[in-house]
Amino acid sequence: MCRAFVGDTMLSIAVKNERGAWAWHVEGRVVQTAPIVTRIEGELADLRVAQTADCGGAVVRVADGEQLVCKLSGGGAAFVRIGNDGTVGLELAIDPAAAAVRREEARDLTKTSRDLERLPGDEEEEEVTGSGSAAHSTVAP
């Protein structure tokens, strides 16, 4: 395992020898935040909410299955899910209290999911269906 830095963001790089040729990949997902900030601020402008977004450094690492949480200047947050194909799902919690609750829900769900993975027992999968909508778009790499 090697490490590299892009600004303050540390990247873990797995390196292995495959039949005499070196192969490598960056673990997790590396994301440029500028297009995401632009998208969030565009959505806020459409809602006539005069706030700015801060998603951290110019480049951030997002672990597989996790979301990027961007701070809004008014105390709220934008929750960003990035698909393998580059699609972006965006949820805005403009109110600071709502953002705090939403952040805690995300932590609880992650912890619960990890705890459930550790339990012995039946490995059946359950199909979950439902209706709902989310905003999606593609951000060019």
Q: Which residues contact 99 (CB under 8 A, 6 or more apart)?
A: 72, 75, 76, 77, 93
User: Over the stretch 9-38, which tens digit does the pLDDT of each residue have?
Assistant: 777 888 888 888 888 887 778 889 999 999
H helix runs in 8-127, sequence order: 34-46, 96-118
- Counted residue by residue, the chain has a size of 141
The domain spans of the chain are: 2-117
Q: Where does the pLDDT of residue 134 fall: very low under 50, low under 70, confident under 90, or very high at 90 and above? A: very low
Model pTM? 0.64
The predicted-structure confidence for 88-111, as pLDDT tens digits, reads as follows 899 999 999 999 888 887 655 555
Where is pLDDT greater, at 135 or 3? 3
Average pLDDT over residues 102-130: 56
pLDDT in tens, 60-88: 888 777 899 999 999 999 999 988 787 88
82 vs 55 pLDDT, higher one: 55
